Amino acid sequence: MIWLAWRRHRLLLLLFAGGIAALILWMLLEGHAFELAQRNSACTSAAQPGTPPCTAVLGRLSLANQAFAINLLLLLLPCLVGVVFGAPLVAGELEHKTNRLAWTQGISRTRWFVSKCLVVGLILVGLAALLAVVAQWWSSHTFDAQGFSLDVGHLHLGTGETRIGPQYFAITGIVPVAYTLFAFGLGAALGAFVRRTSWAIVGTVVGYTAVALLMVLVVRPSLVPPSFSANQNFNSGFSVGVPTSAWDLGEGFRFAPGTHTRSGASAGAIAQTCQDRNNMYAPYLRCLVKHDVQAGAFFQPAKNYWALQWREATIYVAASIVLLGVAYWAVRRWRA
Amino acid sequence: MTPALEAIGLGRRYGTKWGLRDCTLNVPAGGITGLVGPNGAGKSTLLRLAAGLSRPTTGSVLVFGQEVRPNGTAHLGKLGYFDQLRPLYGSLRVEEMLTVGRRLNPAWDDAAADAWLTDLAIPRRQKVGKLSLGQQAQVALTVCMAKRPDLLLLDEPVASLDPLARRQLLEILMGTVAERGTTVFLSSHIVSELEPLCDNLIILSASQVQITGSIDSLLADHRILIGPRDGPRPTGVEVVSSRETGRQASLLVRGEPEGRLSDWREAAPSLDEIVLAYLARPLHEYDERAVPKVAHEGDEQ
């Protein structure tokens, strides 16, 4: 069955591997260009960003602002896996009725499903892992380039994005592998249930995007308790005191340490009440102080990067296992 | 003798519609049994249930005395299943299709598969999807038979094939059955297709067995009686269908009429006529307890 699973999917898998190889090559070239630029003292000196030697180095490989394109590709890749490999895994055979052929040979549906998942799933997870390793190296030379965020002519190098920021977090570390597995499982489960590849594809795109947004907007900010930078001087903005290497979660309120148990209301609700009652700045501030509420900014410091990576990857892998279980249940349960 | 296939109160519902309902029948082991009935009678549903591709809503189906369970593997080695749509992996070459069979079936007969493909002159390197419909059917049948099943389930095996492909397919089939003693249960909605092929016949209409028996005994047990429309009618027979034209009545009956009525004459019906007579019977006349039974070929008498 392993032979059949490989034979049936090898063309797409090889094409996909070829695409990933091209992407890796692109990242290596671009990362190398950045590396050269960084080593060049003329470029890293903030006073001389436009000097001829630096421009020459960068001009050699003018891939610099393609970082965004690569980033986007890496973000979309797991979803693509779900669409190309997950959705048709079961639904494709149901549509062509080839499952009727497979399920009346000498092997059980269980072996049929497990073999397909193992062969296709393991190859995809392996490719995703390889890509994540390269992405880690690549991004350490682009986004994360320390002290290298300056304008060289029309090229804006270094986005100011940090390792733990959403754009970068999702393409490095171990989460890309977990995302890939999840998208694969989501596509397979939807395909086994709706029995139509086209609908499974739509469902995979919508479902994957919804989960990704939910994760970055709601779950990840507090997956590890965030740090807080208290700042009573609103005039200078809330994010004062948030390190540049951190993921800024924006304005927020909390009770001064040790005082939060006093009332049932949340710090945010009290702050809102204070604001509603006082339209002047000074009384508003006094109201906050009176209720032991601190204003400031929440943020995830860079040191939480791996803790967040592991927790988020665990959630996605657990969800993938559930989804593949659902697909397996549908395969066993349903008519051919 | 254990029947090759036994359905007991078998039913399968798709949503609110029954594909097959309360079907009870036996397919005797050995020989070729034809399943004939109009479209929608539940033939394909019955075969899919027997192959373990579908889960019965009610009742059960047994293959050589063993219940078929959709996730079980016990029945898989005994069964060969040929789907109406003849699904094959179109992107595989013919020889790779055989590799699939070899790898998935413990009792795979490589030499026989090879010989059949040679006889049929099917190019091994050709992609299965690029073969003609007839050749695809032949490859599908080859895969079914090379796994050496004891019971071969064929759903409309020769439908939409040209006469030559049809003959080639049936030749392989008949050869193997004769050689290996495989039981074959095949469905069709064309009686003339089945008559030269089958030993036994099961007539299915709206999930219900109208009559079952060997073709010889079906032919021997039925007669057409033609006589005057008015006046005494033959007794001691079951009238399957009657047609009245002018002053004449024509009855298709089962059994031997008692005594003799001088103005009635007898004729032998064709199998076609018998089948059509049963299929044309209004369904409300059907009584479950009165399923006519005729001896099967190979039954101990």
Query: Does residue B106 sit in the same domain as residue B229?
Result: no
The model's pLDDT over B207-226, given as tens digits with 9 standing for 90+, comes to 888 888 899 999 999 999 99
pLDDT confidence of residue A56: 54
Question: Residues of B at the A interface (Cβ-Cβ below 8 Å)?
Answer: 12, 48, 51-55, 70-73, 76-77, 79-81, 83, 85, 87-92, 96, 99-101, 103-107, 140, 143, 147
pLDDT confidence of residue A60: 47
Query: Does residue B87 sit in the same domain as residue B198?
Result: yes
Instruction: With a cut of 70, say whether residue B91 has pLDDT above it.
Output: yes
Residue B49 has which token pair? 């249930």
pLDDT confidence of residue B298: 46
State the nearest Cα–Cα gap between B6 and chain A, in angstroms. 18
CA gap B249, B246 in Å, rounded = 8
The model's pLDDT over A251-282, given as tens digits with 9 standing for 90+, comes to 888 888 777 555 677 888 888 888 888 777 78
Confidence of residue A35 (pLDDT cuts 50, 70, 90): confident
CA gap A46, A143 in Å, rounded = 17
Residue finishing a domain among B182, B206, B230? B206
Domain hosting residue B256, numbered range: 220-277
Spatial CB neighbours of A286, under 8 Å, sequence gap ≥ 6: none
pLDDT confidence of residue A62: 47
pLDDT confidence of residue B186: 92
pLDDT confidence of residue A205: 97
Residue to substitute from A6, A10, A98, A100, interface B, most B β-carbons within 10 A: A100
Residue B285 belongs to some domain of the structure: no
Classify each residue of A235-247 as buried b or exposed e, where b means 16 or more C-beta atoms within 10 Å of its C-beta: eeebbeebeebbb
Residue B144 belongs to some domain of the structure: yes
Query: Does residue B174 sit in the same domain as residue B224?
Result: no
State the nearest Cα–Cα gap between B101 and chain A, in angstroms. 7
Confidence of residue A154 (pLDDT cuts 50, 70, 90): very low
Which among B230, B250, B233, B252 has a CA at the least distance from the CA of B241? B252
State the nearest Cα–Cα gap between A188 and chain B, in angstroms. 19
Among B71, B81, B90, the residue with its CB nearest the CB of A332 is B71
The model's pLDDT over B140-184, given as tens digits with 9 standing for 90+, comes to 999 999 999 999 999 998 887 888 888 888 888 888 888 888 999
Strand partners, A300: A247
Residue B72 belongs to some domain of the structure: yes
Strand partners, B201: B34, B213
Residue B299 belongs to some domain of the structure: no
Residue B32 has which token pair? 């070729």
CA gap B21, B206 in Å, rounded = 8
Query: Does residue B142 sit in the same domain as residue B224?
Result: no
Q: Which residues of B touch A103 (CB under 8 A)?
A: 52-53
Residue B300 belongs to some domain of the structure: no
State the nearest Cα–Cα gap between A21 and chain B, in angstroms. 25
pLDDT confidence of residue A241: 77
Please work out, in degrees rounded to the nearest 5, the angle formed at the alpha carbon of residue A187 by the alpha carbons of A181 and A191: 145
The model's pLDDT over A324-336, given as tens digits with 9 standing for 90+, comes to 999 999 998 877 5
Q: Answer yes or no: do B87 and A110 touch at CB < 8 A.
A: no
Which among B185, B158, B193, B176 has a CA at the least distance from the CA of B33? B185
Residue B288 belongs to some domain of the structure: no
Q: Which residues of B touch A11 (CB under 8 A)?
A: 91
Q: Which of A53-57, B59-63, B75-79 tops mean pLDDT?
A: B59-63
- Number of domains making up chain B: 2
Query: Does residue B103 sit in the same domain as residue B173?
Result: yes
Q: How far is CA B285 from CA B21, B107, B197, in A?
A: 17, 47, 30
Cβ of residue A107 closer than 8 Å to a chain B Cβ: yes
The model's pLDDT over A207-230, given as tens digits with 9 standing for 90+, comes to 999 999 999 999 999 999 999 988
pLDDT confidence of residue A150: 41
Q: Which residues of B touch A95 (CB under 8 A)?
A: none
Q: Answer yes or no: do B81 and A335 touch at CB < 8 A.
A: no
CA gap A306, A320 in Å, rounded = 21
Instruction: With a cut of 60, say whether residue A79 has pLDDT above it.
Output: yes
Instruction: With a cut of 80, say whether residue A159 has pLDDT above it.
Output: no
Q: Answer yes or no: do B55 and A108 touch at CB < 8 A.
A: no
Instruction: With a cut of 50, say whether residue A74 has pLDDT above it.
Output: yes
Query: Does residue B24 sit in the same domain as residue B173?
Result: yes
B81: nearest CA in chain A?
A104
Residue B201 belongs to some domain of the structure: yes
Query: Does residue B192 sit in the same domain as residue B243?
Result: no
Q: Report the SS3 class of residue B265.
A: strand
Confidence of residue B9 (pLDDT cuts 50, 70, 90): very high
Cβ of residue A110 closer than 8 Å to a chain B Cβ: yes
Q: Answer yes or no: do A106 and B77 touch at CB < 8 A.
A: yes
Confidence of residue B246 (pLDDT cuts 50, 70, 90): confident
Question: What mean pLDDT is predicted for residues B240-250?
Answer: 87
Q: What is the CATH number of the domain that holds B33?
A: 3.40.50.300
Between B7 and A160, name the one with better pLDDT: B7
Query: Does residue B113 sit in the same domain as residue B260?
Result: no
Query: Does residue B255 sit in the same domain as residue B112?
Result: no
pLDDT confidence of residue A206: 98
pLDDT confidence of residue A268: 84
Q: Answer yes or no: do B100 and A335 touch at CB < 8 A.
A: no
Mean pLDDT of chain B: 86
Query: Does residue B110 sit in the same domain as residue B257?
Result: no
Query: Does residue B131 sit in the same domain as residue B64?
Result: yes
Q: Which residues of A touch B55 (CB under 8 A)?
A: 333, 335
Q: Answer yes or no: do B76 and A7 touch at CB < 8 A.
A: no
Q: Which of A239-243, B66-70, B97-101 has the lowest mean pLDDT?
A: A239-243
Q: Report the SS3 class of residue B71.
A: coil
Mean pLDDT of chain A: 83
Residue to substitute from B104, B145, B154, B155, interface A, most A β-carbons within 10 A: B104
pLDDT confidence of residue B301: 34
Q: Which of A196-200, A233-237, B227-231 tops mean pLDDT?
A: A196-200
Instruction: With a cut of 70, say whether residue A57 has pLDDT above it.
Output: no
ipTM of the modeled complex: 0.85
Instruction: With a cut of 50, say whether residue A155 has pLDDT above it.
Output: no
Query: Does residue B199 sit in the same domain as residue B235?
Result: no
Residue B67 belongs to some domain of the structure: yes
